[in-house]
Amino acid sequence: MATGADHAVGLGLVGFSLLLFTYYTIWVIVLPFVDSDHVVHSYFLPREYSVILPGIAALILLLCVGTFIGIVTWKNRKSKKVN
């Protein structure tokens, strides 16, 4: 059994992904079947954002991955020059 920080981080990830899944499922699948004057609609953004926000998140993720690869490659190239 993992201990301490590992355990906490793991459970945190599980909890976060469950929350995200529930919120997103309600937003995309449940809301269209709910009357438009129900109070639950006030907790959710307009439907277009359910596609735009994950798109932006994916772009940011790609940016981070690309930046990381760029930094590592640049560092490697410098050390090769010195050698």
Partner 1 sequence: MTSSLCVCITSSELAQSLPVSFTMTKLLEWLFAVSLVGVAWGLVTFDLLDFQFPAVYREVAWPMPVYLLVVFGCYSLATVGYRVATFNDCEEAARELQGQIQEAKEDLKKKGLKI
Q: Does 45 bind partner 1 (CB under 8 A)?
A: no
Q: Does 13 bind partner 1 (CB under 8 A)?
A: yes
Q: Which of 32, 14, 30, 27 is nearest to 54 (CA)?
A: 27
Question: Under rule CB under 8 A, how many of the chain's residues touch partner 1?
Answer: 28
76, two tokens: 């490697």
Q: Does 47 bind partner 1 (CB under 8 A)?
A: yes
Closer CB to partner 1, 25 or 73, in the complex:
25
Q: Does 11 bind partner 1 (CB under 8 A)?
A: yes
CA dist 70 → 28, 67, 77 (Å): 36, 5, 11
